[in-house]
Amino acid sequence: MIVANWKCNGSKKMIQDWLRQYMDTFISSTGTYVGIAPPYMYVEHFLNLINEYGLDIKLGVQDVDKSSGARTSAISIDMIQDMDCKFTILGHSEKRVIFNESNENISKKLDIAIDKVDAIYCIGESAEENNKNQTKDILENQLSIIKGKIIPSSFSIAYEPVWAIGTGNTPTPEDINDIHKFIKDVVQSSTENNIVPTVLYGGSVNEANAESFFKQNYIDGALIGGASLEGKSFANIVNIFNGKNL
Ligand code: PEP
Domain count, the chain: 1
Q: Which atom of ligand 1 lies nearest, measured to the CA of 158?
A: 3
* C-alpha 84 – ligand 1 centre gap (Å): 24
Model confidence pLDDT, tens digit, residues 37-66:
999 999 999 999 999 999 999 999 999 999
Query: What gap in Å lies between CA 183 and CA 11, rounded to an integer?
Result: 36
Q: Whose CA is nearest to atom 4 of ligand 1?
A: 225
Q: Are 90 and 63 in contact (CB under 8 A)?
A: yes
Report yes or no on 89 lying in a domain: yes
Instruction: Tell me which residues have their CB closer than 6 angstroms to ligand 1.
Output: 5, 160, 165-166, 202-205, 223-227
Model confidence pLDDT, tens digit, residues 206-215:
999 999 999 9
Question: Looking at residue 155, which CATH number applies to its domain?
Answer: 3.20.20.70
Q: What is the mean pLDDT of the chain?
A: 96
Report yes or no on 31 lying in a domain: yes
* C-alpha 53 – ligand 1 centre gap (Å): 27
pTM for this entry:
0.96
Domain region containing 12: 2-241
Report yes or no on 246 lying in a domain: no
Report yes or no on 191 lying in a domain: yes
Q: Which atom of ligand 1 lies nearest, measured to the CA of 205?
A: 8
Report yes or no on 124 lying in a domain: yes
Catalytic residues: 92, 160
| Closest-CA residue to 38 (of 30, 49, 27) | 49
Report yes or no on 58 lying in a domain: yes
* C-alpha 193 – ligand 1 centre gap (Å): 30
DSSP-derived pairing of the beta strands 2-5 and 87-90: unpaired
